[in-house]
Amino acid sequence: MENLSADVTRPAEAVRTALRENLVGLYLYGSAVAGGLRPDSDVDLLAVTSGRLQHGERARLIAVLLHVSGRRAYDGPARPVELTVMLAEDLDPWRPVVQLQYGEWLREDAIADRLPGPHVDPDATLLLAMARDTGMSLFGPSAQELLPDIPHGAVRSAIVQSLPSLMEDLDGDERNVVLTLARMQATLDTGRFLPKDAAAEELALTAPRDQADMLRTAAAAYRGEMVDDWGQLAPAMKDFVARVSASINAAS
C-alpha cells in the first residue's frame, strides 16, 4: 500500500487492525481504482472474513471507522469511507449476505448501535462484481482468486432490485441518484462498470438534448468543475429518471 494516498491507507489499516486474524481479504474498488477519487467520492472497501463478526469485533470495527471516516471523523476531517463486510461463505452472486455496512449516511445509526446485522442485500452483487473486475487487493489474495465470477444475469437482477431503494434518495441527493442511474443503465447496456461521470457522459451521447445537458452538468459537478442547481435541472432530471427507471424495470 506504499503508493496509495492516506485517504486509502488510513482506513485500510484501521480495518485490518479491527478485524485481525478474521480478515481474509480487503479490496479497494470504485472511483479510487476506476478513474480516480473525485471531490465527493467515498473510499470503497470490501472486507471478506473467515468467520461471522462477533459483538466485540463489530463494535471495534465501527469505533475505528467513526475515527477515520468523513468530515465528522473523531480524528479530524477525512474522506468518507464506505465499508462492506462479507463472510467468505456468503459470497453468493444471487443471494449475497452482508455482515456489516458502514457509510457516512449511516453514522448516526452506527453511533446509536442501530446498524443492521447480517442481511441479504442485492446491491452487494454489484459491489462484488466491481471489486472482482477492477478491485485492488490491499490484503490477502487477488480479487479474482477470492471473489466469485458474477454472471450478467445476477448483475441485471441486482440492478432491478436495487432501484426502489435508490429512488427513495432522489429528493435531496439528486446528483448521486442521477449518476448512479446512469451507471446502472451503462452496465446493463455494456456489461462494464464505468465511473459515474463516465457513464453519464456516455448516456448523454444518445439522450434528448435537455437530459444530455443535465447529465453533463451532473458529471462536471461530480468532478468538482462546477456547481449544479437542481432547481433548474429538475424538469430534465425527472424525465431522465422516469425514462431510465422504465428501461431498468424492463430488464427484469
Instruction: Report, as residue numbers or ranges, the catalytic residues.
Output: 82
Max CA-CA distance within the chain?
A: 54
Task: Supply the DSSP symbol for 127.
Answer: H
Q: In what order do the strands lie in the sheet with 136-139?
A: 100-102, 81-87, 43-49, 23-29, 136-139
Cell of 203: 448516456
CA distances from 249 to 29, 161, 182, 190, 198 (A): 26, 9, 14, 17, 22
| Distance (Å, whole) CA 234 – CA 79 | 29
* CA nearest neighbour of 174 among 166, 186, 183: 166
| Distance (Å, whole) CA 251 – CA 248 | 5
CB 7 within 8 A of CB 44: no
Report the helix count and the strand count for the chain, using DSSP H and E. 10, 7
DSSP string, 109-125: HHHTT----SEE-THHH
